[in-house]
Amino acid sequence: MLGAVIGDIVGSIYEWNRIKTKDFIFFGRNCDFTDDSVCTAAVADILLHDLSPAETMQQWCRRYPGRGYGGMFGDWIYTNEPAPYKSYGNGAAMRVSPAAFLYRGDLDAALVASDKVTTITHNHPEGVKGARATTHAIWLAYQGENVTAIRDVITSKYGYDLTQTVDDIRPDYGFDETCQGTVPQAITCALESDSFEDAVRNAISLGGDADTLGAIAGPIAEALHGIPQDIKEQATHRYLANAPDIHEVIWEMYQAVDE
């Protein structure tokens, strides 16, 4: 979903230069899409066209080398016989938004789709849970559920502590690449927002794995608030201009649901 791609792009320059403020230029200098966007596009392609999950993910990531892939995942991309490696990294959650979007009429189907694209790499229970919780939160937002209901369901179903506010989390939060240390914080950033942009700013301001926090919070916020047209246009015309296949599969996904 475009919300994930935008969150990724905005957070890309803060992954290693972390900030603790919401006061920053939204599309800052040197922003670009990272592995989060590539993997999200791959998931959309897999689900839209019923493709082999592992093979298709590898093809997309090989097409875009050097986009910030993690160590184990980076090795997995080029292995001849790709197998899951018990990961519970937050890469499980940052890429699953198309599952919630494409199956927004059927929660069970959305969660099955989440598992399908997650367990090719992240088959640790915490990795599967993080992806499912993200999918479920987006799905609930598309049903028109309010933030209290979404918070209650995610807490009850997945055991995440969503009691802290963004201001509570920010002071002591640091870089964390796990699902359990990223997903609840990103969900909070979306649920506490009053707009799409505000959710992404919340995520970046935590001073953590900024692009991935943005890529998780972004699609939840998209479902809650929508994305302003000017932000959509900047993302697609400026940052995806040299990635027409990412742009194409995203819009194919939206058209598939609108038909």
Beta-strand ranges (E) seen in the chain are none
Q: Would you give per-residue pLDDT tens digits along the chain (259 residues)?
A: 899 999 999 999 999 999 999 999 999 999 999 999 999 999 999 999 999 999 999 999 999 999 999 999 999 999 999 999 999 999 999 999 999 999 999 999 999 999 999 999 999 999 999 999 999 999 999 999 999 999 999 999 999 999 999 999 999 999 999 999 999 999 999 999 999 999 999 999 999 999 999 999 999 999 999 999 999 999 999 999 999 999 999 999 999 987 5
pLDDT for the residue numbered 257: 81
Residue 179 CB neighbour total at 10 angstroms? 32
Q: How far apart are CA 156 and CA 236, in angstroms?
A: 37
Amino acid identity of residue 108, one-letter, is D
Q: Which DSSP state fits 238?
A: I
| Alpha-carbon dihedral sign for residues 88, 190, 209, 41 | positive
Q: Which DSSP state fits 172?
A: G
Nearest in space to 95 (alpha carbons), one of 253, 231, 216: 216
Any idea how long the chain is? 259
Establish how many alpha carbons lie within 13 A of residue 71's alpha carbon, considering only the half-sphere containing its beta carbon: 1
- Looking at 32-96, list the stretches that DSSP marks H as alpha helix, in order from N- to C-terminal side: 35-49, 53-63, 71-77, 91-94
Q: How far apart are CA 18 and CA 90, in angstroms?
A: 17
- Alpha carbon distances (Å) from 181 to 19, 33, 119, 253: 18, 22, 19, 29
| Domain count across the chain | 1
Beta-strand ranges (E) seen in 16-144 are none
Q: How far apart are CA 14 and CA 10, in angstroms?
A: 8
Nearest in space to 34 (alpha carbons), one of 209, 257, 220: 209
What is the pTM for the complete model shown?
A: 0.98
Domain that holds residue 235: 2-258
Instruction: Provide the CATH number for the domain around residue 182.
Output: 1.10.4080.10
